[in-house]
Structure 1
Amino acid sequence: MKKVLLIIVLLFVVLLGSAILVPVLFKGPLLAKISRTINKNLNAKVEFEDFSLSIFKGFPKIQAELTGLTITGKNQFEEDTLLAVQSVSTNLSLSDLFNSEQMAINTIRLDRAKLYLLSTLDGLANWDIAKDSGSESSTEAAQSTLNLSLQSIELRNFSLTYKDEATTTVVQLKNATADASGQVEGTVTTFNLSSEIDEFVLEYDSVQYISKTRLKAVSQLTADYDKMVFTFGDSHLFLNDLPLDLTGRFEMPSDSMYFDLKLIQPQSNFKSLLALVPQTYQSYLDDVKANGDAGFEANIKGWFYDDNYPAIDSRLYIANADFQYQDFPEKVSQIALESSISKPQGELDLLQIEISQAHAQIRNNPVDLKLLLTQPMSDPAFDASLNGKIDFTSLGKVIPMDSIRLSGVVQGNVRLKGTLSAVEAQDFSRINSNGTFTLDKVHIETPQLSQTVELNSGSVKIDNQQIAVSSFNAKTGQSDFTLNGQLSNYLPYFFTNKTLKGSFNLQSNYLNLDELANIMVEDTVETTSAGDSIMAFHVPGNLDLSFRSNIKRATFDRMNIENIEGVILVKNQMLQLQKLDMNMLGGQLTIDGNYVNNEANQPDFDFNVNINAFEIPAAYQSFPTMQRYAPIASKSSGKISSQFKFKGKLNEALELMPSSLNGAGLLSTQSLQIVNSPTFDQIKNFVKKEKLQNVKINDFTSNFKLENGNLLVNPFTTRIADQDVTISGKVLVDQTLDLALDFNVNKDDLASDILKTLSYIPGSSNIAKLDVGVAVTGQMKSPKVALDLSKAKDQIANEFKKSSQEEIQKSVKKLGDELKKLFK
């Protein structure tokens, strides 16, 4: 027992000593060897956060681990991280550590690696970082650095992004895992490969053609490192759940590569092919009965070097197929597809994509499609046609519509043939585009819409130069539309993102703008945003559209609007209104102006507004700007007219930002009357009370300015409660008042106690009107009113001085305390 305990203690001491001594003795030399190997083989900047050796993690071997490894290119790629790995590790034996000149790595593990491959427009690649094999430094490195003889590779949480700027192609592998283990026989290693990719993405010209596609591979790969020949043995691939068998080989004898690979679908039936549907949508196929033949096969054979690519011959076909959902009465039948992607050995411009047949039908409603794409690199040529009829009522008996209800018929045909160069040059002699589509009683009802949309009729005609829309008649909720017009330059718009031009006439008997503004049902899912949903919008820059409206009646925010006529332009990222006329609020409104958004999502606007004879109470209820600057209008009657030009900014909810407002204009009134105003009630001590119950204000015209949200009123004269008055002042952006009302009060309209006092003053009979100043200050909601009688005192004093000595003596006894009351 003592011997056993002693052995255990000795083993523990040896292990503990090794755990302490190995990192101390070997970390420095090994780290130097790694750095020397990297620096002498790579033209790149290599950094890592830490390097460690552990005897326990890889026991009985020693685990070497680099953490936080990054490889960054040089020159134009110095800002691009080629590779970032959280952890790179391998296992080494003690003999490897002692025999440093012959040290070899045959296993490697990478955890959370991100690889970014970039090929630029001028043909440079960021992964071209290896030094010339014939250089002196690389030769020296081969003699004194690490050797790779991999027999085991493990990848965990691996991501790859490949971007080719010349072909606008992006390939992504997300959250991939891979295991490869092999047996070495001389220069030949046989690997057993197992890998799985959660998501495969293929993007071309900013359009994702493949996404949310899961890949899986189980393969046997024989690698002859001496001849650089790699041969696939028993290999199986899975695209989502579609199985594919892979056979063949590829070689890398020099800078070129040779391929001889074949892919084939082992199960030639339509049900298997449906596995290509992305995993996200597979649940929709759970209850589908599918019949018919289908298959996929592809051959890749030839050399790859420079711009020379191997030959491709692939075929995807479907024949005599149909599918039907369980418990649904109808099915999609006579499904047929014959398609291919092919090219001979040579440049990519020889690639040809063809759909020679694509057919399906529901009952007696067929849909046919054909497509041919050639010359994709030099001058893409296309020849496509679509012909069919869709009865939405029948469609709803074939596929699950969830809560969407559709009915009606759409039918038509279209043919498009030409080249991209012809589209760009707008050479319509080399383009063949024609077709027609008709809509008949199409009804759309969905939870995303608050109202049913009814497209009662419509006709679309397509030719080389335009898409003409005629007799487009629609209704949603209480609103009806009739739309006619045309779109031009549509081919350059769709193919090369050029400007889409169009002109339309919109007619309506009635529009409920409140319904239309809320036709999209708000998402009830809670968001992190604390405010309301954003309403500000950006106008696309590649649109040049005009809409001429003729709307007999509309309602908006409880306002009745009639005879809306004018032009709305969408152009230069701007929404423009041109002479938009309408009758509303008992008068007429004309608006000219524009709206344009910015990066801050705070749109700028610049409007000319002409208001003619608006009813004041209704205008106050309808316009927040009037509520802000003229709250007294809430207790007013009469009409207002105004002409003004102003500009400013809106916030994300399309609300005015007051401090941004600048402009000028004039305001005039007709039959203005203010009822029970607290402001005028505060001057009742010098004007008869009955004059202030319903204050009548004579018609006037006032000029005003807006400066950074401050309303500046130029002096103007009118009559208030039958008294002459001059008004001036300002309403500040913080809704602070600073107004002056200089009254010239008729002596007979003065308060009775003032009249009584004046009767004692010699010369008062000569006074017809008395100058009284009123200052209105403070906050708009609770203004303060102060009287200024200094001018009135001067008037009385001047008339008193003109009186005779006899008149003064007769009146002096009567004045007494009355004078004190007046001038206290």
Structure 2
Amino acid sequence: MKKALKIFGFIILTIIILLVVAPFVFESQLKDLVKKTLNDNLNAQVDFEDIDLSMFRSFPQATLVIEDLSIINNEPFKGDTLAIGEEVTLEMSVKELFKSSDEPKKIDQLTLNNAFINIKVDSLGTANYDIAVEDTTTTGSESTPFSLDLKHYEINNSRVKYDDRNSKVSLEVKNLNHEGTGDFSLDQSELDTYSEALVSLDYDGVNYLNQNEISLDAVFQMDLENMKYTFLENEARVNQLPLTFDGYVQVNDEDTEMDITFKTPSSDFKNFLAVIPEIYAKNIENVETKGDFVVNGRIFGKTDDTYIPKMDIKIASDNASFKYPDLPKSVQDISLDMEILNDSGLAEETYININNATFRIDQDRFTANGNINNITENMLVDLALKGTVNLANISKAYPLEMEQDLNGILTADIKTNFDMNSIEKEQYQNVKSSGKASIRDFKYSSPEIPNEVKIANADMSFNQGNVNVPNLKMTTGKTDISASGTLQNLMGFLFTDQQLKGNFQVQSNTFSVNDFMVAETEEITTTDEDGKDKTVAKTTGKEAVKVPSFLDMELRFNANTVLYDDLELKNAKGILVIRDETARLQDISTNIFNGSIGLNGLVSTKNATPVFEMDLNLNSLDIASSFDGLDLMQGLAPLAKAIEGKLQSTMSLKGNLNEDLTPQLTSLAGNALAELLTAEINPEKAELLSKLDSQLKFINFKDIDLSKIKTNLTFTNGMVQIAPMNFNIKGIDFQVSGSHGFDMNMNYDLKLDVPAKYLGSEVSSTLGKLSGETIENTTVELPIGITGSFQSPKINLNMQQAVNSLTQKVVAQQKKNLENKAVDAINDILQGKRDPNKPFNKNDTTAVNSQNADSTATKAPVTKRDSINQSQQKQVQDAAKNILGGILKNSKKKTDTTSNN
């Protein structure tokens, strides 16, 4: 006995050792085998991260795990991902591992976790899943390395995307969990399955399901020899609507044949509420209902490249009602009679009849009927709507989760008949609409708008494709609007992705742009109390104005007052064209700053950075008010804060905008012609003018009148360039040129031609003696360089240039005087008034020689007389320095130096 136990123990130990060692022995072989098999049999790039073989994970079965499997398409879908899977698990008998590589290995169980299947069919019908390599072998004796002998399979937490451009079908299945248990080794067997997912379905651009929750718990009879699957026991749910199925699906070589009937297992009206997504229909088990709701239908026939299954689906309810226990009102007199039919198997001949759809809340009754034909081609719509709805009662009768409250009275009596081709091609003459609709006492609030919108009344009259709006009265915040006009394509806006087009006349007593500026938000991720991540919106502190992308409008407006930021515009009128996220301003005029502005231009928020272009005509604007109210004025003319008076200007500007639609000054480009109509200077208000006022003793800036001065400005790269500008103020010639940046740094040249009469009697006498003529015709040139910033200016008086200029002017005048004396002397000789043998006096010859000193210096050696002439010119230059020193250091009061004006 003891010996037998030893033998048994040894056998067990040996088996354990084999189970431990086996993965190391077979894992490498299997890894190479799997990769070779997949790539040899699939026309795609197949790869995986690793293979793990375990003998204990599902003992006595061996478990093979393929990690991070990927299948990438070759041409004609080269580079597209067909499938990726985080983990593929295969379970098989241990004995399968001991088979040779030429023998088929049977897989008992297959599990796919966290996978993404991306199926594409192009417009020619080519599918990206058709990647199997065609078998060209001629002998039937060769075997394949793997064969399916499944008992159970699972797909967990996966996603499937199907995009068929040939049939115009787009299907997306998210959160897919599916499992099946059966025996695929038998020709006839039962397959027990369960599936759940969120399904979205679009057909030919029309959305039929949008993340609807669908589940199916079904048992199928499988006939694998004939590829026929028959429903046995089953129940499906669409959202919370239960359905049961009977019938079969058979896959043939050329088509798929089916005959399936389905119905609701009961006729309770709760079935209707169950059709609605669960997020909007919570706790329907506690809802009080009366009446019935029945869905039954049949889908039958063959489907292939030409045909779809025929269908006959009916939805009916009669005299039903429901009431949620926590809500004060109920929905009553509900009647539904709808059909979805296809008699031919051609997709375009599917049609929907809405024979009757009626409901009532309190005394308000609403009815709709009509039909929709030719769904997949040029859809034909024929609808009639009639009734009254108190919008506030909707949330009191049905538990809508809304961020804002609805209210107001909607009344409609409308008939419309149109085809979608006419809508898409904007052929509204083919639209037959008639009737009227109105809304009263409507209020709307949302985080997307800063203030509640109130519509006192809005009337609409339908006439073919147009909708006339004879009367619309709206308020929000400080803004009031009265409008009338026409909507040209309401149907196109409602049924397609067209922009809403129209023309309106708009009147407003007060229009505040701030009422349409919303605080920007950004999404941030936080962790809640349960440790789960959640995304919330956080205000950034910025406000932005966005030109709506869905509008194509022309508005002729007239507003008594427009409020923009801190500005108040009066009598604003003109044309506003909103199109392609761009607002074009045409012939705009408004009164502001005790003057008026005319402008044409545009503002576009189409790109990430808003841009603008403007042609402005500023007429008689108050300079001080403009400076205080406009950042643009502060950047273009920083000295304007020290000027009091009126401004007239024409400007052409373009550049970028901030999110609140104020200009980014550093991006400005353009030009301007500005004229001061009336202007006086208060130098104490500007540091630059104050410094100039203190250094130029002969000018009193407070007494200067700048009226009628004009200048040309250009703007580029954040700089303002002033073209050379000449003007005369009280006998003083000024020339100004240079530039400054919007950072307030500057580089200007100022040249003054100062009459000698402003320099005092002592300086005037000196000039008179040097020049030999009266002081009235003598001026002193004074160049000044201005750098630094407007807050901290640097003033550079170019003394040497001024001395040279004044010296040359005096010397030139002396030469001219001497030449005049010589001419007079010759005339006297010719007339006999002077003895020709009598020489000029000493002073005359000295003067002549001194005037010619420079011109003869290079022609003859320096003589004693030349030294005397140079000495006299040096005296002139020294005198010029003294004169200029007197200009800048004159201790007399400005009232004295300007008393001679």
TM-score, normalization by structure 2: 0.81
Distance 1:112 1:468, change over 3 A: same
1:15 matched residue in structure 2: 16
1:293 aligns with 2:302: no
Amino acid at match of 1:24: V
* Structure 1 position 344, deviation (Å): 2.8
1:561 matched residue in structure 2: 569
* Structure 1 position 464, deviation (Å): 1.6
2:641 matched residue in structure 1: 634
- Measure, in 1, the Cα distance between the counterparts of 2:270 and 2:83: 41
Aligned match for 1:797, one of 800, 807, 831: 807
- Measure, in 1, the Cα distance between the counterparts of 2:473 and 2:545: 29
CA offset digits 1:165-219 (Å, max 9, x no partner): 245432211122222222467322322212222x222234556442242222222
CA offset digits 1:463-486 (Å, max 9, x no partner): 223111112122233322111111
Q: Is contact 1:359-1:366 (8 Å) kept?
A: yes
SS in 2 for 1:77: coil
Q: Is contact 2:680-2:702 (8 Å) kept?
A: no
1:707 matched residue in structure 2: 716
1:681 aligns with 2:681: no
CA offset digits 1:393-423 (Å, max 9, x no partner): 5556545687855554221122222333444
2:677 matched residue in structure 1: 670
Q: Is contact 2:150-2:185 (8 Å) kept?
A: no
Distance 1:247 1:773, change over 3 A: same
SS in 1 for 2:297: strand
- Measure, in 2, the Cα distance between the counterparts of 1:9 and 1:291: 75
Aligned match for 1:772, one of 760, 782, 786: 782
- Measure, in 1, the Cα distance between the counterparts of 2:344 and 2:133: 31
Amino acid at match of 1:578: Q
1:339 matched residue in structure 2: 338
- Measure, in 1, the Cα distance between the counterparts of 2:796 and 2:343: 95
* Structure 1 position 315, deviation (Å): 2.1
- Measure, in 2, the Cα distance between the counterparts of 1:387 and 1:543: 28
SS in 1 for 2:293: strand
1:432 matched residue in structure 2: 432
1:87 aligns with 2:98: no
Aligned match for 1:625, one of 617, 620, 632: 632
Alignment of 1:480-519 (within 5 A): 480-491=480-491, 497=497, 501-514=501-514, 516-518=515-517
- Measure, in 2, the Cα distance between the counterparts of 1:141 and 1:342: 52
* Structure 1 position 694, deviation (Å): 6.9
1:359 matched residue in structure 2: 358
Aligned match for 1:106, one of 108, 113, 121: 108
Distance 1:213 1:379, change over 3 A: closer
- Measure, in 2, the Cα distance between the counterparts of 1:42 and 1:396: 56
2:623 matched residue in structure 1: 616
Amino acid at match of 1:706: F
- Measure, in 2, the Cα distance between the counterparts of 1:209 and 1:635: 68
1:736 aligns with 2:735: no
1:225 matched residue in structure 2: 224
Distance 1:553 1:422, change over 3 A: closer
- Measure, in 2, the Cα distance between the counterparts of 1:20 and 1:757: 117
Distance 1:450 1:289, change over 3 A: farther
- Measure, in 2, the Cα distance between the counterparts of 1:486 and 1:84: 53
The range that moved more, 278-287 or 235-244, is 278-287
Q: Number of aligned pairs?
A: 810
Alignment of 1:716-731 (within 5 A): 716-719=725-728, 723-731=732-740
2:472 matched residue in structure 1: 472
Amino acid at match of 1:109: T
- Measure, in 2, the Cα distance between the counterparts of 1:821 and 1:421: 88
Q: Is contact 1:736-1:777 (8 Å) kept?
A: yes
Q: Is contact 1:27-1:52 (8 Å) kept?
A: no
Q: Is contact 1:725-1:741 (8 Å) kept?
A: yes
- Measure, in 1, the Cα distance between the counterparts of 2:347 and 2:881: 110
* Structure 1 position 657, deviation (Å): 3.9
Q: Is contact 2:27-2:51 (8 Å) kept?
A: no
Aligned match for 2:583, one of 575, 582, 598: 575
Q: CA RMSD in A?
A: 3.6
Q: Is contact 1:668-1:699 (8 Å) kept?
A: yes
1:549 aligns with 2:557: yes
* Structure 1 position 59, deviation (Å): 2.6
- Measure, in 2, the Cα distance between the counterparts of 1:820 and 1:116: 89
- Measure, in 1, the Cα distance between the counterparts of 2:141 and 2:503: 71
Alignment of 1:256-267 (within 5 A): 256-267=255-266
- Measure, in 2, the Cα distance between the counterparts of 1:613 and 1:205: 61
Amino acid at match of 1:535: A
Distance 1:282 1:136, change over 3 A: same
- Measure, in 2, the Cα distance between the counterparts of 1:25 and 1:513: 75
Structure 1 unaligned residues grouped into runs of 5+: none
* Structure 1 position 610, deviation (Å): 0.8
Amino acid at match of 1:774: I
- Measure, in 1, the Cα distance between the counterparts of 2:117 and 2:548: 37
The range that moved more, 108-117 or 302-311, is 302-311
CA offset digits 1:140-174 (Å, max 9, x no partner): 69633321122110111111111222454322111
Amino acid at match of 2:563: T
Q: Is contact 1:553-1:562 (8 Å) kept?
A: yes
- Measure, in 2, the Cα distance between the counterparts of 1:223 and 1:288: 41
Distance 1:26 1:522, change over 3 A: closer
Aligned match for 1:122, one of 116, 121, 124: 124
The range that moved more, 48-57 or 60-69, is 48-57
1:584 matched residue in structure 2: 592
Q: Is contact 2:243-2:262 (8 Å) kept?
A: yes
- Measure, in 2, the Cα distance between the counterparts of 1:206 and 1:372: 19
* Structure 1 position 743, deviation (Å): 1.9
1:654 matched residue in structure 2: 661
Amino acid at match of 1:59: F
Amino acid at match of 1:243: P
* Structure 1 position 592, deviation (Å): 0.8
Q: Is contact 2:291-2:321 (8 Å) kept?
A: yes
* Structure 1 position 125, deviation (Å): 2.1
Distance 1:686 1:400, change over 3 A: same
SS in 2 for 1:280: helix
SS in 2 for 1:19: helix
- Measure, in 2, the Cα distance between the counterparts of 1:798 and 1:423: 84
Structure 2 unaligned residues grouped into runs of 5+: 525-535, 815-842, 848-871, 890-901
* Structure 1 position 648, deviation (Å): 2.3
Q: Is contact 1:586-1:614 (8 Å) kept?
A: yes
CA offset digits 1:9-37 (Å, max 9, x no partner): 76456434443344434642x44554565
Q: Is contact 1:26-1:97 (8 Å) kept?
A: no
2:834 matched residue in structure 1: none
Q: Is contact 1:184-1:190 (8 Å) kept?
A: no
Amino acid at match of 2:599: I
Distance 1:292 1:247, change over 3 A: same
- Measure, in 1, the Cα distance between the counterparts of 2:495 and 2:880: 97
Distance 1:721 1:448, change over 3 A: farther
* Structure 1 position 505, deviation (Å): 0.9
Q: Is contact 2:342-2:351 (8 Å) kept?
A: yes
Q: Is contact 2:465-2:489 (8 Å) kept?
A: yes
- Measure, in 1, the Cα distance between the counterparts of 2:202 and 2:580: 29
The range that moved more, 495-504 or 104-113, is 495-504
- Measure, in 1, the Cα distance between the counterparts of 2:375 and 2:602: 42
- Measure, in 2, the Cα distance between the counterparts of 1:427 and 1:786: 73
Q: Is contact 1:33-1:146 (8 Å) kept?
A: no
Q: Is contact 1:629-1:735 (8 Å) kept?
A: no
